[in-house]
């Protein structure tokens, strides 16, 4: 195989890996919005760490699922992620940064009562046989709006 073909294959692999990680990040938002907290936890490695400033670090699928399931008290959930920047560090490792906008509505019959916050995410990823998984996530809440009437994110 020529050097040019090797370079093209390496670039193609990097693009495929970035797209697979982007899909994980999208599912990271979609699954809790659909109240699929077990599916959310499965995006992490078995020993993965979810580090959210309000809850402290949660390690492993069970702890991550339990922490995220605290959002179940809201009738409306919206997780949005933007400014995703993904870097492939090696054949089985990567890291990413992004920004989150989270909004929760306690009761759908009162759509004007919301709690929202956002901030920067930092992720590390590892590639497993079943695909890319989150090894660690750190979210620092840098702004909020409204009142968390359900007390899920109160420090």
Tens of pLDDT, residues 40-90: 999 999 999 999 877 789 999 999 999 999 999 999 999 999 999 999 999
- What is the enclosing helix (H) or strand (E) of 16? helix 3-33
Mean pLDDT computed over 13-41: 98
For residues 79 and 29, the answer to whether their CB atoms sit within 8 Å is yes
Distance (Å, whole) CA 155 – CA 153: 6
Domain ranges of the chain: 3-146
Give the fold, CATH level 3, of 3-146. Answer: Nuclear Transport Factor 2; Chain: A, (3.10.450)
Q: What is the pLDDT of residues 103-154, one digit of tens each?
A: 999 999 999 899 999 999 999 999 999 999 999 999 999 999 998 989 888 7
Structure tokens at 23: 């899909």
């Amino acid at each position: 195989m020529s050097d040019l073909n090797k370079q093209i294959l390496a670039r193609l692999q990097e693009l495929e890996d970035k797209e697979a990680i982007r899909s994980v990040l999208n599912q990271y938002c979609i699954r809790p919005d659909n109240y699929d907290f077990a599916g959310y936890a499965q995006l992490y490695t078995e020993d993965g760490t979810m580090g959210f400033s309000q809850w402290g670090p949660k390690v492993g699928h069970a702890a991550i699922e339990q922490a995220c399931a605290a959002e179940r008290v809201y009738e409306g959930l919206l997780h949005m992620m933007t400014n995703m920047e993904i870097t492939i560090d090696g054949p089985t490792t990567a890291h990413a940064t992004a920004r989150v906008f989270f909004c929760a509505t306690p009761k759908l019959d009162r759509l004007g009562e919301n709690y929202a916050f956002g901030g920067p995410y930092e992720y590390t990823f590892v590639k497993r046989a079943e695909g890319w998984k989150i090894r660690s996530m750190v979210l620092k809440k840098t702004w909020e709006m409204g009142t968390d009437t359900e007390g899920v994110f109160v420090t």
